[in-house]
Structure 1
């Protein structure tokens, strides 16, 4: 399967980004190719297009299935398995976030909870536990907030994001206005 230079550029870049999201470069490339291809692709097509082995494709597809990002489909009369992405781009973002939370945030929260049950033995440990409590509270707040965001429809989430930029500008204007009002008057 031939892909255009722009698609190839995207696929390679997505592979690099995938390594930052928790899966390896090749798996990221496979997923990117599936995202930008309208029809489901076979393992052979993925291997040929990305110049990787069939075994690498097989392992990568298992990983993407464990992340719940791809699904297998079959074409009547064809014994091959075909792969396609699951859901929309919003679904992809939610799924990646959920999986990263399960793999990274949840174990950290669990460790922090266990540590916070301990009584400090001295002032140094009391300080360390205080900082762990702050980290715990921040992660809990972010987890609750992200859970609320994930329950929104893509349309409402998009609206909220647009509002967020406006709210940020309004808060900056408020800060500037109050800063001017709180300056001493030089006329007195």
Structure 2
């Protein structure tokens, strides 16, 4: 049985630094600071945490923690887990980094890339039939659509590559670039 303490723990300095830094990065990525800090805390935790423990440890309002947990669960970055003898909800984070990054990428694609492609397709179609839209605007809209669709296709291809193979490709990095023609 997992032992759960009702008293929030003081975070070790390195953990606190990571939680604060992850929160700052979250803000730069368009994620609420509290959401990112809670994710960081759960990611580094060696045990499931209840919302009350998270609120006390991070000094965040319980209502904010609840909203943040729902958002993280919506991204599939955390999940609720049962704890024997407890009626409260406890949470753990996804700890497989590849799975975590894949889920974040899927969420961002769904929220950002897919709507952009729909909007760009509509703009390209509308501009093509509008004689008041100049050749430069038409060309640039089409180029942006082509670029976005290419990235979308690349993303779909990368999803089919096993994580260990993808990791090897990433580590090759500049080594691969040496063999590509440079214009």
TM-score where L is the length of structure 2: 0.87
**Which residue does 1:135 correspond to in 2?**
144
Counterpart CA distance in 2 for 1:32 and 1:152 is 27
Q: Report the CA distance between 1:170 and its aligned residue.
A: 4.1
**Which residue does 2:60 correspond to in 1?**
52
> For 1:42, which of 25, 44, 50 is the aligned residue?
50
Task: Point out where structure 1 has 5 or more consecutive residues left out of the alignment.
Answer: 179-188
**Which residue does 1:61 correspond to in 2?**
69
Secondary structure in 2 matching 1:127 = helix
Q: Does 1:30 align with 2:76?
A: no
**Which residue does 1:158 correspond to in 2?**
167
**Which residue does 2:97 correspond to in 1?**
89
Residues 13-68 of structure 1 deviation map (CA, whole Å, 9 limit, x = unaligned): 11111123332011000001111112111111111111111111100001111111
Higher RCO by CA contacts (8 Å cutoff, separation 6 or greater): 2
- The 1:130–1:73 alpha-carbon spacing in structure 2 relative to 1, beyond 3 Å, is same
Structure with the greater alpha carbon radius of gyration: 1
Q: What is the Cα-based RMSD across aligned positions, in Å?
A: 1.8
Counterpart CA distance in 1 for 2:24 and 2:163 is 26
Contact 1:115–1:129, Cα closer than 8 Å, also in 2: no
Point out the structure with the larger helix share: 1
**Which residue does 1:184 correspond to in 2?**
none
**Which residue does 1:8 correspond to in 2?**
16
TM-score where L is the length of structure 1: 0.85
Counterpart CA distance in 2 for 1:24 and 1:7 is 19
Secondary structure in 2 matching 1:117 = helix
Task: Point out where structure 2 has 5 or more consecutive residues left out of the alignment.
Answer: 1-8
